[in-house]
Every structure is written in structure tokens, then in C-alpha cells.
Amino acid sequence: MTTLGYLLLCCWTSLTTNSSIDPIKGPTAETLIRFVDTIVNHIKARHKDKPAPQAKTVKGGIQSLVSACIWKFPEFKLSAHELTRIDTVIDTVIDTLSKEGKLLRGTWRKREWVGIALVEKLTRAFLQAAIDRGCLSWDVILCKVLSIVLMSALACRSGDIALTQGYTNEYLRWEDVQLKLGKGGDTIDDLEADVTLRSEKGKK
């Protein structure tokens, strides 16, 4: 971000002021403030599935650019007042863009389907914990395991199959699950299930 930010600063200065950055003194505080106010509106996320870049990444990149100017230009100096102004502009612009959804706060991770390896790890953890520590009822443990397997198999939320607070009849019922033997099957391994979800998100 530091190298890219510096190149963008040079291009932006050339286009907006028809001049180049002083190789000794570097950019002025006013130039940096105007650059920050402009550039943050045009930064895009690098990941194609990411809706917007991270606010902390943008802020850190701009702060790194200011630090790089101190190293690159021998006489580059900013007063305490100018540094405060720059920080204020950064915080104000980032806060505004975050509220508009153009920047993301917190942590973002790419959504991925729950794979069989993770499901196996979760179910084994439930069962092993019950074996090691004991349990009042295996029914509870098996229900928890079943809920995890169902959610991953149906790609649904917990509220799509279980009764959640604020609802009365929106849950997966026994009548919504039909078990049958696959064609030519005669063992439990050949069982298939047809599951009907009646209370998906947005339909409750």
C-alpha cells in the first residue's frame, strides 16, 4: 500500500495541480488532506467476492504513506496541528464511507460451504466430550449432532430447522422428513431422506 499510495499521490498531484511533488520538502499537509479525501472514495477491495475494502486497511495504508514521506523527503515535516487535521479527515471520511457501506469495519472472511471434514470434527467433538465428561442424556447429544449434520446437508440456518425465540410453529417437523431406501438398497447405508423446509429465512 505504501508504494502504491505514493505513486497514486504523485499522479494525483500532477493531475490536479499540474506540478510535481517537491523532491526535498515533499507534499504539503493540505495536499495530503485533499488526497486522502479523494482517494478513499476510489479504493476497491482486492478480493472479487468482497463487497468493500476494510476500513482499518485503508486507514493503516494512509498512515503508512505519511510515515513513508518522512523517510523519503529530507525536509518533510508536519506540525502537531497538521497531523491532527490529517487524522481527523481520515477518521471522518472513513466513518462516513463505513456508514454508506463503501468500507467494512471489523473482520471479513470469504463465505465457504461447510465441508465433510469440518462436520466430522464437530460431531466427533460432541461425542468425545460426552464420553469423557459424561452426560445426563444421550438424546441431547445425538440431537445436537443431528442438528449440525442437518444444517450442513441442507445448507440452512439453525432457525430453519429448530424452533427459535419469537416463533411458535416455524420449525422442522417429523412429517417434513421422509426416509426411504434407495433403489436396490436393503441396508441402513442405503437410506435416503427427503426433507422439506417450510420456514426458510425471509419466509417466517
pLDDT in the model for residue 203? 56
pLDDT higher than 60, residue 204? no
pLDDT-above-90 percentage for the chain: 4
Q: Which band of pLDDT confidence, cut at 50, 70 and 90, is reported for residue 30?
A: confident
Whether 113 contacts 155, CB under 8 Å: yes
Site of grid cell 497514486: 8
Whether 84 contacts 27, CB under 8 Å: no
Note the pTM of the prediction, 2 decimals: 0.44
Domain map of the chain by residue range?
2-99, 116-195
pLDDT in the model for residue 2? 59
pLDDT in the model for residue 150? 85
Residues in the chain: 204
Q: Is 180 helix (H, G, I), strand (E, B) or coil?
A: strand
Site of grid cell 454508506: 100
Mean pLDDT (the chain) is 80
20: cell is 510535481
The larger pLDDT score, comparing residue 91 to residue 109, is at 91
